């Protein structure tokens, strides 16, 4: 909008931290001196003769309730709203394939859904912040589909359920079929629920730690990954990814 000649007066973010990538904050806001109002949202919209003429934003508390005396008014003719990405999964809904916290399907390490021969990847599976990871998932889904057509993927069998623990929003895949795992192992993708610094991310199976990763920081807008080798895994009921308390 700025490059096209608009005067952008500010960006309001409901959360106390930015849901955008750090590089986007620098390149799209700070480089153009556009203020970012954290913990703020729209309180009122003013119009005249059917046209937008102004908005009022205000700060919110931890319960997302407006804080009295924090109103900020702007004379504007344009208001843009960002509501996030919602995967288009009507096909999966019609097939009655189980959905998860990501609003996508529950998949195994081959990105196969609960219906044999149906695979899911990219933003259809969970929202990505970097397109490279979408391409990687697409390639994995394609290779897995070939394996399925060659009858190289086993149906059923024992599996480990993958769950998100303390301070983790979600983990993909949600199922690991141990008997079907190849030598490459599996890559767990996850997002923290909130910005964190100097943390230990623990991976455990039925309460027994199998891997620990140190992170200088982690933020919800950046997807994190942990690679597990086949030798790292043991058969169990539940694999948990969590931030050490």
Q: What is the pLDDT of residues 148-207, one digit of tens each?
A: 999 988 766 678 999 999 999 999 999 998 777 777 789 999 999 999 999 999 999 999
Q: Which CATH number applies to 11-75: 3.30.1050.10, 3.40.50.2000, 3.50.50.60, 3.20.20.60? A: 3.50.50.60
Give the pTM: 0.81
CA–CA separation, 88 and 20 (whole Å): 22
On whether the CB atoms of residues 199 and 218 are closer than 8 A, the answer is yes
Point out the residues of the chain with pLDDT beneath 70: 155-157
Q: Sheet harboring 168-172: ordered strands across?
A: 168-172, 186-192, 224-228
Closest among 245, 140, 244 to 189, alpha carbons compared: 140
Phi and psi torsions of 179, nearest 5°: -70, -20
CA–CA separation, 214 and 232 (whole Å): 17
On whether the CB atoms of residues 204 and 129 are closer than 8 A, the answer is no
Residue listed under structure tokens 């141990």: 178
CA–CA separation, 27 and 29 (whole Å): 6
Residue 221's pLDDT is what?
87
Residue 215's pLDDT is what?
94
Distances 52 to 36, 76, 140 between C-alpha atoms, Å: 22, 7, 47
Residue 172 pairs with which residues in a beta bridge? 189
Could you give the 3-state DSSP secondary structure of residue 145? helix
Residue 156's pLDDT is what?
63
Residue 140's pLDDT is what?
94
> With 0-12 CB in 10 A as exposed, 13-18 as middle and 19+ as buried, what is 65?
exposed
On whether the CB atoms of residues 143 and 156 are closer than 8 A, the answer is no
Residue 98's pLDDT is what?
74
Residue 183's pLDDT is what?
76
Q: Where are the domains of the chain?
A: 11-75, 90-243
CA 75 from chain centre, in angstroms, equals 34
């Amino acid at each position: 909008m700025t490059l096209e000649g608009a005067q952008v007066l500010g960006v309001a973010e409901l959360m106390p931290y930015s849901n955008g990538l750090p590089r986007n904050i620098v390149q799209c806001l700070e480089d153009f001196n556009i203020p970012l109002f954290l913990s703020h949202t729209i309180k009122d919209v003013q119009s005249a003769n059917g046209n937008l003429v102004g908005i009022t934003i205000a700060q919110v508390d931890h319960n997302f309730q407006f804080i009295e005396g924090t109103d900020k008014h702007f004379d504007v003719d344009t208001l843009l709203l960002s509501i996030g990405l919602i995967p288009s999964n009507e096909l999966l809904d019609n097939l009655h394939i189980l959905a998860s916290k990501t609003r996508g399907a529950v998949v195994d390490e081959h990105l196969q859904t609960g219906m044999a021969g149906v695979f899911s990847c990219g933003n259809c599976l969970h929202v990505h912040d970097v397109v490279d990871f979408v391409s990687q998932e697409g390639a994995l889904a394609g290779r897995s589909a070939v394996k399925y057509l060659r009858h190289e993927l086993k149906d059923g069998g024992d599996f480990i359920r993958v769950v998100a623990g303390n301070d983790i929003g979600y983990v993909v895949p949600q199922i690991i079929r141990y008997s079907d795992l190849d030598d490459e192992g599996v890559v767990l993708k996850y997002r923290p629920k909130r910005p964190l610094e100097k943390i230990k991310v623990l991976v455990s199976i039925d309460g027994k730690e199998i891997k620990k990763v140190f992170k200088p920081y982690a933020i919800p807008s950046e997807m994190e990954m942990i690679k597990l080798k086949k030798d790292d895994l043991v058969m169990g009921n539940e694999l948990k990814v969590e931030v050490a308390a």
